[in-house]
Chain A
Amino acid sequence: AQKVTQAQTEISVVEKEDVTLDCVYETRDTTYYLFWYKQPPSGELVFLIRRNSFDEQNEISGRYSWNFQKSTSSFNFTITASQVVDSAVYFCALSDGSNYQLIWGAGTKLIIKP
């Protein structure tokens, strides 16, 4: 069975600190896709990244970076020099690529204090 665990329910940091959101997944598929979505207070989820299981290169996009490690079944998300606008709930999700459903994690609420 597929499963996504985001063990951190809520994280609170002071602005400019670096913060890492953990995502651990379970799957028996050899081909799968991992996603991160952001849900700001406005409520509208926004796609951040998709990574397939064959690409283990870390990705960096501005202050955002993602560390994909198949050995530990983790796809962690780091925000460098956090800003108040980063405050949101972040969801990690998993799929086998051929399904219409994603397996969603419970989400991590990130609070950035000024």
Chain B
Amino acid sequence: GAGVSQSPSNKVTEKGKDVELRCDPISGHTALYWYRQSLGQGLEFLIYFQGNSAPDKSGLPSDRFSAERTGGSVSTLTIQRTQQEDSAVYLCASSRGLAGFYEQYFGPGTRLTVT
């Protein structure tokens, strides 16, 4: 498909385990974003990539969170030693450029449940 894809769609993990969430952006989109959305809440910005670089990581909630992007394409968000408060839907979006100007295309999200 031509849209943004994310995997897995659902992930249930035990507290303390590490998880990896994957995002495949639209081909050719240079900008990639990760957001977190708790149940019934708005969007919380986590991190932004321009190419393979992440100019701003200040949105990451703690040092247990990290992200990388390779080849200007696929991105992985890793959460180490998961906690129950990490439970949320993690959304990925891509765009042709800065989200402040260009429309973002969102993936379906990964629903993370930490038990």
- Whether A100 lies near B100 (C-beta < 8 A) is yes
Report the minimal beta-carbon distance from B110 to chain A, rounded to whole angstroms.
10
Assuming A43-B108, A43-B109, A47-B104, is B98 touching A99 (CB within 8 A)?
yes
A113 to B23, CA, bound (A): 35
**Contacts known (A43-B109, A44-B106, A44-B108); A98 close to B100, Cβ less than 8 A:** yes
Q: What residues of A have a CB within 8 angstroms of the CB of B105 in the complex?
A: 47
**B43 lies within 8 A of chain A by Cβ:** yes
Name the B residues within 8 Å of A105 (CB-CB). 42
The distance from the CB of B50 to the nearest CB of chain A, in whole angstroms, is 7
Q: A-contacting residues of B (Cβ < 8 Å)?
A: 31, 33, 41-43, 45, 48, 50, 55-56, 89, 91, 93, 98-101, 103-109
Chain B residues with CB under 8 Å of A43's CB are: 89, 91, 108-109
Residue of chain A at shortest CB distance from B9:
A43
In the complex, 7 of the A-B residue pairs with CB atoms within 8 angstroms, ordered by the A residue number, are A42-B108, A45-B104, A46-B106, A98-B100, A100-B99, A101-B99, A107-B42
> Using a CB-CB cutoff of 8 Å, which residues 23-39 of chain A contact chain B?
33, 35, 37
A58-91: CB near B (< 8 Å → 1, else 0) gives 0000000000000000000000000000000001
Known interface pairs A43-B108, A43-B109; A102-B99 also in contact (CB < 8 Å)? yes
Complex Cα distance, B100 from A1, in Å, reads 15
B93 touches A98 (CB 8 A): no
Chain B residues positioned under 8 Å from A98 (CB to CB): 98, 100-101
Given A91-B42, A105-B42, A44:B98 Cβ within 8 A: no
Q: With the chains together, A101 CA to B99 CA distance in Å?
A: 6
Bound CA span A43–B31, Å? 21
Q: Could you say which residues of chain A place their CB within 8 Å of the CB of B103?
A: 35, 47, 50
Q: Name the contact of A101 in the complex, choosing from B41, B50, B89, B100 (C-beta under 8 A).
A: B100
Question: Which residues of chain A come closer than 8 Å to B98, judged between CB atoms?
Answer: 97-100
Whether the Cβ atoms of A45 and B93 lie closer than 8 Å is yes
